[in-house]
């Protein structure tokens, strides 16, 4: 059974805890990133607020990757996931979701966390600045990475896509840099410290970034200028989930901040089939209890309603739309954009079903990539990847 049936939800709601005018089951379950991650710690803070306010128990199930976080939600064993950009990749049915057991998923945003002050960017060592003839890093641009060493993470398609997007901003491709393979995210940043690589991607507040900043090789975040429309178009053609921000928190951050990018993290999400009343009440609880958990974990301030982005790449759940409408935050423009995204998901689902029925010979992933691009292009929709 893929989701809670209406009868089960009704039964849960009948025994719900009620406070601050929201009603939730006695136990709500989220999957999150692994123990100790920013997303996990924020979920703990939110759980503490729920427990104190209404005796609701937030059960947290950490998962090491996007598949492990989404599988129990897809099966209906868990109601929500505090996920990352894998939410978008799941919608698109790409990278790790190209497998025949997955495909494009009809996922929905409940609320997203953005605006905590940290950026997500490609950092470079000060040694790289010296190589480019800019020893103090003043004026260093992503384009200056041409010919330098850039990490590629084995089994980390999402991380590699982020790096590719920043290279594209600078007018570069993987062919323009020296690719250095690493076994994981942490190893790539160890390479920054040890001097075996010249750049790496991270959130600016990551512990790895602080370690790199204090190392002999140092750390610098080349700016991403939102007024550089050609560069931003190249970046978003690879990774449309990035938004321009003024980063103010993190390692090697100047006092005046730095023009960088970010994407929502965590994203509280559910499947399209999740009960709208449950989603509405989860959204309301997150809003009502904000003051109780915003200081409970680093980055939790990003859940503020004023930080919500309504023109992102994944649609909001109807339950969240109901709450946001009541709060006076949902507009006709937001609804139009949401409808476009819902149509996109329908196009992807239809294309997947048609390809499955056709049973193509040869490599399934190649066949799906071609079918997906054909279907999206026919509808005048962007087809990244």
Q: What is the pLDDT of residues 42-58, one digit of tens each?
A: 999 999 999 999 999 99
pLDDT number for residue 154: 84
pLDDT number for residue 114: 87
Instruction: Determine the average pLDDT of the residues in 297-317.
Output: 93
CA-nearest of 111, 37, 31 to 73 is 31
Q: Is the pLDDT of residue 169 over 90?
A: yes
Q: What are φ and ψ of residue 243, in 5° steps?
A: -130, 145
Q: Is the pLDDT of residue 370 over 60?
A: yes
Instruction: Determine the average pLDDT of the residues in 247-276.
Output: 95
pLDDT tens sequence across 306-315: 989 999 999 9
Rounded to whole angstroms, the Cα distance separating 79 from 27 reads: 10
Compute the C-alpha angle 131/260/152, nearest 5°.
Answer: 55
CA-nearest of 371, 353, 293 to 51 is 293
Rounded to whole angstroms, the Cα distance separating 114 from 348 reads: 27
pLDDT number for residue 16: 55
Instruction: Determine the average pLDDT of the residues in 308-331.
Output: 97
Mean pLDDT (the chain) is 92
**Confidence bin at 322 (pLDDT 50/70/90):** very high
pLDDT tens sequence across 84-112: 888 999 999 999 999 999 999 999 999 99
pLDDT number for residue 13: 43
**Confidence bin at 207 (pLDDT 50/70/90):** confident
What pTM was estimated for this model as a whole? 0.83
For residue 266, cis peptide bond before it (omega within 30 degrees of 0): yes
Instruction: Determine the average pLDDT of the residues in 73-93.
Output: 95
Helix (H, G, I), strand (E, B) or coil at 357: helix
Structural contact between residues 324 and 316, judged by C-beta atoms closer than 8 angstroms = yes
Mean pLDDT lowest among 28-32, 155-159, 225-229: 155-159
């Amino acid at each position: 059974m893929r989701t809670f049936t209406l009868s089960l939800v009704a039964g849960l709601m009948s025994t719900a805890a009620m406070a601050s005018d929201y009603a939730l089951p006695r136990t709500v379950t989220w999957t999150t990133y692994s123990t100790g991650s920013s997303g996990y710690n924020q979920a703990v803070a939110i759980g503490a607020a729920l427990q104190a306010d209404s005796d609701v128990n937030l059960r947290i199930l950490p998962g090491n990757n996007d598949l492990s976080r989404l599988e129990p939600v897809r099966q209906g064993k868990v109601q929500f996931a505090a996920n990352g950009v894998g939410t978008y990749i799941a919608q698109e049915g790409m990278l790790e979701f190209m497998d025949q057991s997955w495909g494009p998923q009809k996922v929905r945003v409940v609320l997203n966390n953005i605006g905590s002050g940290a950026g997500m960017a490609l950092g470079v060592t000060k040694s790289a600045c010296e190589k480019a003839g800019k020893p103090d890093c003043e004026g260093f641009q992503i384009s200056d990475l041409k010919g330098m060493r850039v990490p590629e993470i084995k089994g980390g398609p999402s991380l590699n896509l982020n790096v590719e997007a920043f290279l594209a901003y600078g007018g570069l491709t993987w062919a323009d840099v020296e690719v250095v393979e690493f076994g994981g995210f942490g190893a790539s940043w160890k390479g920054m410290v040890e001097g075996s690589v010249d750049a790496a991607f991270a959130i600016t507040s990551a512990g790895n970034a602080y370690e790199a900043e204090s190392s002999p090789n140092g750390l610098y975040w080349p700016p991403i200028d939102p007024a550089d429309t050609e560069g931003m178009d190249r970046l978003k053609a690879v990774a449309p989930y990035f938004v321009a921000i003024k980063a103010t928190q993190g390692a090697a951050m100047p006092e005046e901040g730095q023009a960088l990018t970010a994407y929502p993290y965590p994203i509280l999400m559910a499947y399209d089939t999740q009960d709208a009343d449950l989603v509405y009440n989860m959204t309301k609880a997150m809003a009502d209890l904000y003051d109780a958990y915003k200081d409970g974990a680093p980055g939790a301030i990003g859940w503020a309603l004023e930080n919500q982005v309504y023109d992102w790449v994944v649609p909001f759940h109807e339950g969240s739309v109901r709450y946001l409408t009541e709060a006076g935050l949902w507009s006709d423009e937001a609804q139009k954009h949401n409808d476009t995204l819902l149509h996109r998901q329908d196009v992807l689902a239809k294309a997947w079903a048609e390809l499955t029925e056709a049973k193509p010979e040869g490599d399934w992933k190649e066949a799906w990539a071609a079918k997906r691009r054909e279907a999206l292009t026919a509808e005048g929709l962007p087809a990244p990847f």
